Amino acid sequence: MYAILPQIGEDKCLGVDDDQAAEKLGKVPEPLPTPDSLPDPGELTLDFEQTQPSSEPDINSIQRDSKDTSYNSLSGPSHVFAVPTMSELGLKPATSPHRGGETCALAALDAIIANETYTATFSKPSTAPTAFSPQATTLLSPHHHFGSLSVRLFYHRVQEVIHKPANAKKASTIPTNLIGQLLFRDMYFAAQAAIGYPFAQTFKNSHVRFIPWHLPSKIDPETELITGEYTIDSPLAEKWLQRWKFGCTGFPWIDALMRQLRHEGWIHHLGRHAVACFLTRGGCYIDWERGAEVFEEWLIDHETSCNSGNWQWLSCTAFFAQFYRCYSPVAFPKKWDEEGNFVKHFVPELENYPKKYIYEPWKAPIKDQKQWACLIKGDGDEGEEGGLKCYPKPMFDFNERRGICIEGVKNAYHVGLHGDDPK
């Protein structure tokens, strides 16, 4: 990451020319070999009095069902400085099927590399956002985040496959191939390194366009950083935000994605595009920082730089400016999953709905809704009625809201303010 700044300059870090970045970066060093042994640490029992760190604010409190005891002893309950267990951290059992650790990471990497056709021809835009068992992409990003898989190791293993004579002609290229995904990751890291803390917000951020979204962040006047709180300038927008977060918008594609995110901690990158566009410039006109906070809370592969950068991209406040191109919550998923199997899995209320209505269940006749054991009514609080499940009506007319959002962003572009503008 840090090699990018002196090689291509800070201004280039804010662009997306991955080919230029790859060319100027030069040879990527090999990863350091895993040590064969570790030195004897000696006596590990620590009996001196310690000052425990404050647990406030505890951003993980909602995920706990008991007290965090991991700091009761500096060296842990077994006095070996082991990684704290879930029970020691007081955390609830995991709902995600995805597991961490270097053993899992290396096994997953080996499986990917063994499939040379997949590795050599991988093209991110061609992978299906509706694939879920298994997913269409590598799902190695959480391992990169937690350090259980070396980025350099992944890079060199992929390069070995791509440059084999048998694969060279059919291999996909930057920026859509696997190497391109690493470059996008480093692009965001480098952009954050160039800008600093304000990269993750609009205020005082020179490269982010100012758009007067609903639910804007509150700013600490001393630090000039966002506080984690926001102004509710529209009660309706606040309701939309909560319905979006918990998968109750009434648009099955959006709701399935948000429920997968909440349950598994991961969704496909095109799914992230769809829900981010929907919340910002493609429906709700809500500040991208609200969406970034939800992703920060739930994603198991969360990186501040990548998360903030992607939300800026999808909200068209930076990196990307074609704000008139929006993801339809109906037409877009139909291209990948006409039968709606992804929706039926994550929104089981609609499991009996046929493909004709799976993305637009509100259009189904009441008689059929009853036959399929799910009524389309309310705003997500209904649960059941008369022994039938309930799924909410759409919280707005998408085409109407898309037009309003596009016009709002267009006007903001015309005004031309950025996050560091005194106005």
- 280 neighbors 314 (Cβ within 8 angstroms): yes
Which residue(s) pair with 375 in the sheet? Answer: 390
What is the torsional sign of CA 113, 118, 122, 124?
Answer: negative
At 238 the pLDDT is 98
At 346 the pLDDT is 98
CB proximity list for 108: less than 8 A, separation 6 or greater: 138, 139, 140, 143
- 179 neighbors 119 (Cβ within 8 angstroms): no
Please classify residue 40 by burial: count the beta carbons closer than 10 Å to its beta carbon, then call 0-12 exposed, 13-18 middle and 19+ buried.
exposed
Give dist(CA 225, CA 202) in Å, integer. 9
C-alpha torsion angle, residues 88, 92, 95, 96 (rounded to 10): -30
Q: Tokens 């918008």, residue?
A: 249
DSSP letter, residue 214: B
Centroid of chain to Cα 328: 19
At 38 the pLDDT is 85
What is the amino acid identity at position 263?
H
User: Which residues of the chain, if any, have pLDDT below 50?
Assistant: 1-16
Q: Tokens 């995600």, residue?
A: 96
Coil vs helix vs strand at 108: helix
pLDDT digits (tens, 9 = 90+) for 306-340: 999 999 999 999 999 999 999 999 999 999 999 99
Coil vs helix vs strand at 105: helix
- 194 neighbors 14 (Cβ within 8 angstroms): yes
Q: Is 142 left (phi over 0), alpha (psi -120 to 50) or beta?
A: alpha
Closest by alpha carbon to 280, among 310, 250, 248? Answer: 310
The structure's pTM equals 0.90
Strand pairing category for 374-376 and 388-391: parallel
Give dist(CA 19, CA 219) in Å, integer. 37
Centroid of chain to Cα 70: 28
Give dist(CA 253, CA 233) in Å, integer. 28
